[in-house]
Chains A and B, each alone.
Chain A
Amino acid sequence: MNQVIISAVISLGAIGGAAAIILYFVAQKFKVIEDPRIDEVDEILPAANCGGCGYAGCRAFAEAIVKTGDLDNLYCPVGGNEMMKQIAPIIGVEAKEKEPEVAVVRCNGTRQYAPEKVEYDGPQSCAFAHSLFAGKSGCPNGCLGLDDCVESCDFDAMYMDEETGLPVIIEDNCVACGACVDTCPRDIIELRPKGKKDKRVFISCVNTEKGAVSRKHCSVSCIGCGQCVTACPFDAISMENNLAYIHPEKCKLCRLCVPICPTNAIVEANFPEMSDKLIEKAKENYTKQKEKKKGAGKAGEEKAKAKKATSTDKKTSASSEKKTQDKSISTSDAEKKEPRNDSEQTSKQKDKSSPDNPENK
């Protein structure tokens, strides 16, 4: 009996020992030498694997950081500046501060403002609806409301407001990974700097149709009237394809454009309620800026002036729909015929006038 036990112990021990030796050599042979700093960086990273940095996951991002050895184009929006500061000493560079960003939904076409005209029957996903038709309200740029973005969010930072039919971003949870921005087939969601004390002003519309057309399906769309462009004392607003855009790096959060917008398409976040005084001030500012910019126009060439005039006409008559449309056609035709110089010159004039503006204020 004893013999059996002993032989069993010995043979099993021998097999175990042999396996251990083989395993040791195999492990030595196939050892993968990896930079230990990758592990260190990976430890610090949030392990959310959201892809917000542009890499497949946190590990891949850590590898990229160690491999390139600098943090110029690498940034983890989830961890933010704090975390990048921790990572920087590991690879021996300075961390670059980046303004924290947050996702904003640039569409205000709620069920109330942009009534649904048709019903959609098909897979409940924006990607499909987008390829099929312009949307329930008819707006070819507006939110389709089928929550592709909400589903793409890994951080529970979005939900669908059942009443408005629009997605809502929970700012505290948003890490600005950009997943929703990539998902949205209509490029409605944008990453914007969080701003001072989380205050932001932005145009909540991406509709590029002419005002008269977009007004037909949405009462809060940007109609491209250009009043905000005129009103802005900092030249932070530009107009392209009938759509205004507030450049966050130039915007000083003065709120003077907000009450000017005839369709309330400019949205402000985390501000106190607008006082009557401020509204008055905005109106005053608008007339002041208008005259000033007109004056700057007079100094320019005659052609440029003519063009300005038509465009201001266009602004004022935005409410009367049909006229605007006809005029806008003629202006666009005129633009095509005119040589390029004009527009360049006008923009130069604008540039010239811009540095003065802050002083005025």
Chain B
Amino acid sequence: MNLCNLEALVPQYVRQFEAYIPSPPDDELQQMFGCSRLIRMNNNENPLGPPPAAAAFLQSFDPALVSRYPSGDCRPLRARLADYLGVTPSQVILGNGANEVIAFVIKAFCQQGDNIVTADRTFAVYEWIARFSGVDARLAPLNDFGFDEEGLLARVDSRTKLVFICNPNNPTGTWWSRDRLIRFMERLGPNHIVVLDEAYAEFMDQPDYPDGISLLSRFPNLIIFRTFSKMYALAGLRIGYLVGTEQVTDIVRKTAIVYSVNTLAQSAALAALGDQTFITATRSLVQEGQQMLAAQCAELKLPILTSDCNFAMIKLPFSDTLAYRLLMQQGYMVRTMTGFRFPGWIRVSIAGREAMQGFCTALSRLVHSRTDQSPLAKVYGVF
């Protein structure tokens, strides 16, 4: 019996795709880097933990519930979201995390030979899913760390089905104002779908930050992505969704995988939605953390990109992979940005106050150790 020929079986665009390598579990990392505890500041997770109502529901869940299938199309959650967002339930489609929702949209609109357009330094999953689906991903360089209208438009052609705008952008935190978004939509015209990824929308506290959903009536070719992973601190449960006009969601629903959000996730999201006390508390924690980071970076003369989001990017005068290693030894895990086409930068998620203070100290020690020319520092280092 011959070994089956995977070369023949698997299309080239899948074979060429490289697997994402997740980071090892905490205990392995701690051993690897010799730190006694590890604070993850690499995934933009909300340090407060989920809203109390979500936690309370889960802690008293009835096990008999989980032997039944969940609502296949998340009916109760969609109804609640629709009410909250001022749309109809059929305008909302849920997925097992926003990543799954990205796949629904790409599968709905693109076939081989089509392309998507997005920025070169943004959330990478748009590009990944396009590539392993045999769809070309055209990447416009950021301009001054923000999505570049001209660069995006220059890459759009008749085979462009989707334009992905991450607003605010992960990892830079930059965002388009309402006027700027409207101008882009008008220049692009109605022949392409624009996906506005608003994963961090709930953190934004700026008067001219656009609520994409409010623009749907004017631009029916808009799709808005949201998630429960960031503001609502439910990354561990994988719940994302999109909102569009019914014309669009009627199409996307055909490629949506039903039953993909489990029972407990649906109910927890329903309980969490709209907790304004929680949102206010998170926003002020993030604001405080951003201010601490900004002050520390000013003192160390490091360029920093801050925003309302729960992450910031910091430019170091040395390699980001080295910084990663040395910060890990002090128990802080950040995201290196070389792989995201930002060599020398790290992305830091905003953690709780104590963790932020600890991180600022660690950053300061790190920078001094790399720039201090005193012979003693050279000999002993600081670690």
Binding partners A and B = no
